[in-house]
């Protein structure tokens, strides 16, 4: 079996669940798992659940030799997790197809996760490893981000250079060769988040498996600045109100009409919210048993890899947020995960976090007008909101929410983010937030 996708993050997000699940149904000698990496790859970048299964694509490595042997005559189940490039390396180096170095009959089942973000060319590289009667399952979502293309595709050839998901969805279903199946159960998010995500066009069939998931925060809500609070962050009781576990959806709207690609006020708010969670976030209530956590707060690596995620549209805002968090969070093992916990939408697709915070930054109307298509993409905002398991917080300027795009298509696309801020969240509380000034704190009407 092969698990592949456009990024290691997407691949690991699926594969990391497999060791525990295979052990539930099979003896240890009945399966083998290999998580491929380049010979220079860093094991620290691999999901913790898969580090015992890492295999470099180096013909001299004993682990690689074990993989080749298992693929030839090994246990009943051999699971390989790899990008298309590493699959191509495996095909070339495995020696199981000496007459044809470009392909080998290695896998009877292939799963492509986040297939809507994987282009056809990279999928073909992975498919060079499938056996003649293999089954291929592509899992994707045309309402999320497509592959990043440096230039627009040639007219008439869009299907050949777009995503493998769109290729099968359009070509396969037209020829009755592919039967689409709607996965209408969200195992990730709670009811409040799923109810909003439906607005992107999924319809009422999409339901939350764990509707009552809530953040599990240890200790009492502070009524004064906590001991050890960073000197370069301003504490406010409003941070705790914004983080209330009983309000899974929040929008913080401010009046800044000057900021462009970096907004220091929003970055400060993000850092303060993350710092307020640090040392208190333990897991979730109302979710699967393994989500509850312990009576101790998350360690730093778990906090950054599973607890919080921050999305920014621009690298300038990302850098500003990271700079503040470098001072707000302690040093120690797992600190490197900070640079993955604050990233762009494209890099977050395929991931999930207990808390997702989006900082859009822009307030200057001319800058907003010049980036309309990028900022108001329905797919982009859908990805941001649907990464959250228990809480999603949007920080944005009122000018960005109120702006009317000039392009009719972009105007229709902008309806999702506008509806989130002004329609879905109708309960309004006004607060003065440090470095942002007067703000609307918007939540659902209960």
Structure tokens at 35: 């998580």
Q: Identify which of 209, 135, 217 has the alpha carbon closest to the alpha carbon of residue 168.
A: 135
Model confidence at 446: pLDDT above 90: no
Higher pLDDT, 212 or 331: 212
pLDDT at 388: 97
171 and 271 fall within a common domain: no
Model confidence at 408: pLDDT above 90: yes
Model confidence at 158: pLDDT above 90: no
- SS3 of 225, please? coil
Cβ(68)–Cβ(95) under 8 Å? yes
Structure tokens at 89: 């390396």
Higher pLDDT, 44 or 387: 387
148 and 245 fall within a common domain: no
177 and 245 fall within a common domain: no
pLDDT (tens digit, 9 = 90+) per residue, 13-22? 999 999 999 9
**Which residues are 3's β-sheet partners?**
81, 111
Give the mean pLDDT of the chain: 92
Higher pLDDT, 44 or 240: 240
Higher pLDDT, 97 or 342: 342
Given 156, 181, 206, the domain boundary residue is 181
pLDDT at 149: 78
Structure tokens at 285: 């209530």
pLDDT at 100: 57
- Which residue in this structure is represented by tokens 């007219």? 155
72 lies in some domain: yes
Cβ(61)–Cβ(30) under 8 Å? no
pLDDT at 223: 86
233 lies in some domain: yes
d(CA 330, CA 228): 11
CB atoms within 10 A of CB 150: 4
pLDDT at 99: 60
280 lies in some domain: yes
8 and 155 fall within a common domain: yes
Model confidence at 157: pLDDT above 80: no
Q: Identify which of 369, 429, 370 has the alpha carbon closest to the alpha carbon of residue 399.
A: 369
Cβ(397)–Cβ(362) under 8 Å? yes
pLDDT at 97: 62
Average pLDDT over residues 343-370: 93
**Which residues are 281's β-sheet partners?**
217
Q: Left, alpha or beta for 122 (phi > 0: left; psi -120 to 50: alpha)?
A: alpha
Structure tokens at 312: 């920014």
- SS3 of 96, please? coil
Cβ(309)–Cβ(341) under 8 Å? yes
Domain containing 408 equals: 191-443
- Provide CB contacts within 8 A for 23, sequence distance 6+: none
pLDDT at 321: 97
304 lies in some domain: yes
136 and 209 fall within a common domain: no
CB atoms within 10 A of CB 210: 21
Q: To 10 degrees, the CA torsion angle through 244, 246, 249, 252?
A: -30
With residue 196 as reference, give the H or E element that holds it: helix 191-197
Task: Quickly state the pLDDT bin for 177 (edges 50, 70, 90).
Answer: confident
Domain count of the chain? Answer: 2
- SS3 of 4, please? strand
Model confidence at 125: pLDDT above 60: yes
**Which residues are 249's β-sheet partners?**
392
C-alpha of 22 from chain center: 24
Cβ(22)–Cβ(77) under 8 Å? yes
pLDDT at 3: 98
114 lies in some domain: yes
With a pLDDT cut of 90, the percent of the chain lying above it is 78
Phi, psi of 367 (to 5 degrees): -65, -40
pLDDT (tens digit, 9 = 90+) per residue, 195-223? 999 999 998 999 999 999 999 999 888 88
User: Judging by DSSP bridges, how do beta strands 308-311 and 353-359 pair with one another?
Assistant: parallel
How is 247-280 classified by DSSP, letter by letter?
A: --EEEEEE---S--S--HHHHHHHHHHHHHHTTT
**Which residues are 353's β-sheet partners?**
388
384 and 276 fall within a common domain: yes
Sign of CA dihedral 302, 304, 305, 309: positive
Average pLDDT over residues 45-59: 92
Biggest CA-to-CA distance, the chain: 72
186 lies in some domain: no
172 and 205 fall within a common domain: no
Task: Quickly state the pLDDT bin for 42 (edges 50, 70, 90).
Answer: confident
Say which range, 86-100, 222-236, 273-287, has the weakest mean pLDDT.
86-100
Model confidence at 288: pLDDT above 90: no
CA distance readout (Å), 42 to 56, 62, 83, 108, 350: 10, 18, 15, 29, 21
Within the chain, how many helices (H) and strands (E) appear?
21, 17
CATH number of domain containing 432: 3.40.50.300
32 and 168 fall within a common domain: yes
d(CA 401, CA 442): 13
- SS3 of 138, please? strand
pLDDT at 422: 96
226 and 155 fall within a common domain: no
Task: Quickly state the pLDDT bin for 290 (edges 50, 70, 90).
Answer: confident
- SS3 of 398, please? helix
118 and 220 fall within a common domain: no
307 and 213 fall within a common domain: yes
Average pLDDT over residues 248-269: 96
8 lies in some domain: yes
pLDDT at 71: 93
254 and 216 fall within a common domain: yes
Task: Quickly state the pLDDT bin for 153 (edges 50, 70, 90).
Answer: confident
Given 161, 181, 201, the domain boundary residue is 181
C-alpha of 385 from chain center: 10
102 lies in some domain: yes
Given 117, 148, 181, the domain boundary residue is 181
Task: Quickly state the pLDDT bin for 49 (edges 50, 70, 90).
Answer: very high
């Amino acid at each position: 079996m092969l698990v592949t996708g456009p990024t290691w993050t997407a691949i690991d997000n699926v594969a990391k669940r497999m060791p525990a699940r295979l052990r539930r149904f099979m003896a240890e000698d009945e399966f083998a798992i290999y998580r491929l990496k380049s010979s220079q790859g860093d094991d620290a970048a691999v999901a913790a659940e898969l580090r015992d299964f890492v295999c470099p694509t180096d013909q001299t490595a004993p682990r690689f030799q074990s993989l080749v042997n298992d693929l030839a005559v090994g246990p009943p189940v051999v699971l390989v997790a790899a990008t298309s490039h590493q699959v191509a390396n495996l095909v070339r180096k495995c020696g199981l197809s000496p007459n044809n170095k470009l392909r080998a009959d290695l896998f009877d089942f292939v799963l492509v996760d986040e297939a809507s973000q994987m282009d056809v060319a990279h999928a073909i590289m992975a498919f060079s490893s499938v056996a003649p009667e293999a089954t291929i399952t592509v899992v994707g979502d045309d309402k999320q981000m497509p592959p990043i293309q440096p230039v627009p595709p040639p007219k008439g050839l869009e299907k050949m250079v777009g995503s493998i998901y769109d290729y099968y969805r359009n070509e396969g279903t037209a020829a009755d060769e592919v039967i689409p199946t709607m996965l209408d159960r969200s195992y990730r998010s709670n009811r409040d988040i799923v109810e909003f995500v439906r607005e992107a066009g999924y319809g009422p069939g999409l339901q939350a498996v764990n509707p009552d998931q809530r953040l599990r925060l240890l200790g009492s809500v502070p009524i004064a600045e906590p001991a050890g609070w960073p000197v370069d962050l301003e504490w406010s009781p409003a941070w705790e109100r914004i983080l209330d576990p009983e309000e899974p959806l929040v929008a913080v709207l401010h009046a800044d009409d000057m900021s462009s690609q970096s907004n220091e006020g929003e970055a400060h708010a993000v850092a303060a919210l993350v710092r307020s969670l640090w040392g208190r976030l333990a897991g979730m209530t109302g979710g699967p048993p393994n989500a509850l956590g312990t009576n101790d707060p998350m360690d730093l690596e778990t906090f950054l890899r599973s607890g919080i995620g921050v999305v920014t549209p621009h690298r300038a805002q990302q850098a500003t947020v990271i700079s503040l968090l470098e001072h707000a969070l302690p040093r120690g093992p797992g600190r490197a995960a900070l640079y993955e916990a604050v990233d762009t939408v494209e890099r977050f697709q395929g991931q999930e976090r207990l808390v997702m915070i989006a900082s859009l930054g822009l307030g200057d109307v001319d800058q907003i007008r010049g980036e309309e298509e990028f900022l108001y993409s329905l797919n982009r905002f859908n990805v941001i909101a649907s990464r959250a398991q228990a809480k999603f917080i949007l920080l944005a300027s009122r000018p960005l929410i109120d702006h009317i795009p000039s392009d009719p298509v972009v105007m229709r696309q902008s309806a999702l983010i506008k509806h989130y801020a002004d329609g879905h969240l109708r309960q309004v509380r006004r607060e003065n937030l440090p470095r942002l000034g007067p703000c609307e704190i918007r939540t659902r009407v209960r």
